[in-house]
């Protein structure tokens, strides 16, 4: 089955950045664990935050290449990456599904497809696909992170934490892994361990705005709003940080704040 070219809609980068950081505070766990800086990494479809939005012309060209041969894994990965950069996660997942069906033993494609399922919110399917994306003899920390993300989104925090911990044995002190692990602890209502883990994540050289936003979330849940605002102001304006802290105050004041947090989002993929 051929996939028709996708119409591209773009949003100004500054607007997406503000919205993304605000969402990171309230939604918590994003897709940090599997968002890699190199699209060549095994099973990766790339880090959207590190790329420019793909143009309509680029997407059309990639669609044409993919439609000519849906079994071409590299063409599928490139097309899915372009779609994902335009916030078209469902379409990206559909493209990777076609490639995975044609290449059922290709762990590179299976990994990318599994991660796209996590991003699309299809967590049970993701768990099944990701289980075949690497082997116990040759584990991939990014796949383990994605497995943790899917488990956490389903509320299975103990299982999620075991995946993150296994990934950290391969990639010690990886900030995205520590960030997701810390927020999984938060969803388990273990705020002290969550803060300790997120402080460690934020101290790593590769820590980014998402990690600091997740730390701010936990600090806010503990009622330490000044510290939360200081963490946020490293990546946004004073006005934006204050607005996010105001949202954190409302969240922290809710008697069922952990239930609200779980409903908003759980540890995401990588």
Q: What is residue 57's predicted lDDT score, i.e. its pLDDT? A: 86
Q: Report the number of distinct structural domains present in the chain.
A: 1
pLDDT digits (tens, 9 = 90+) for 96-146: 999 999 999 999 999 999 999 998 899 999 999 999 998 888 899 999 999
Give 208-224 as a DSSP string: -HHHHHHHHHHHHHTT-
* Domain, as residue range, for 225: 13-264
**Minimum mean pLDDT range among 59-63, 101-105, 221-225, 264-268:** 264-268
The predicted model gives 65-69 an average pLDDT of 91
Contact (CB, 8 A) for 154 and 184:
no
Classify residue 4: in a domain, yes or no.
no
Classify residue 187: in a domain, yes or no.
yes
pLDDT digits (tens, 9 = 90+) for 39-48: 222 333 333 3
Q: At 8, which helix (H) or strand (E)?
A: none
Name the phi and psi angles at 94, rounded to 5. Answer: -65, -40
Q: Give pTM, 2 decimals.
A: 0.77
Classify residue 270: in a domain, yes or no.
no
* Average pLDDT score over the chain: 81
Q: Token digits for 71?
A: 């079994």
Residue with tokens 């609200």: 260
pLDDT digits (tens, 9 = 90+) for 147-205: 999 999 999 999 999 999 999 999 999 999 999 999 999 999 999 999 999 999 999 99
| CATH number (domain holding residue 217) | 1.25.40.10
Q: At 193, which helix (H) or strand (E)?
A: helix 191-202
């Amino acid at each position: 089955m051929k996939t028709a070219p996708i119409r591209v809609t773009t949003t100004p980068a500054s607007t997406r950045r503000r919205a993304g950081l605000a969402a990171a505070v309230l939604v918590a766990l994003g897709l940090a664990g599997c968002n890699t800086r190199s699209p060549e990494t095994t099973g990766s479809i790339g880090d959207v935050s590190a790329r420019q939005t793909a143009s309509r012309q680029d997407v059309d060209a990639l669609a044409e290449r993919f439609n000519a041969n849906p079994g071409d894994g590299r063409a599928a990965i490139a097309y899915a990456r372009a779609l994902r950069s335009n916030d078209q996660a469902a379409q990206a997942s559909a493209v990777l599904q076609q490639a995975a069906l044609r290449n059922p033993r290709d762990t590179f494609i299976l990994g990318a497809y599994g991660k796209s399922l996590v991003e699309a919110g299809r967590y049970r399917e993701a768990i099944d696909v990701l289980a075949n994306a690497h082997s116990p003899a040759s584990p991939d920390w990014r796949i383990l992170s994605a497995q943790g993300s899917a488990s956490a989104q389903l509320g299975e925090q103990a299982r999620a934490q075991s995946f993150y911990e296994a990934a950290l044995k391969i990639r010690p002190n990886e900030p995205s892994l520590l960030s997701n692990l810390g927020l999984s602890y938060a969803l388990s209502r273990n705020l002290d361990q969550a803060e300790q883990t997120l402080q460690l994540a934020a101290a790593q050289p590769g820590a980014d705005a998402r990690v600091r936003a997740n730390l701010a979330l936990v600090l806010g849940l503990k009622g330490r709003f000044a510290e939360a605002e200081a963490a946020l102001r490293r990546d946004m304006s004073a006005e934006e940080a204050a607005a996010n802290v105001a949202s954190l105050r409302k969240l922290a004041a809710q008697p069922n704040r952990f239930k609200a947090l779980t409903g908003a989002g759980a540890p995401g993929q990588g």
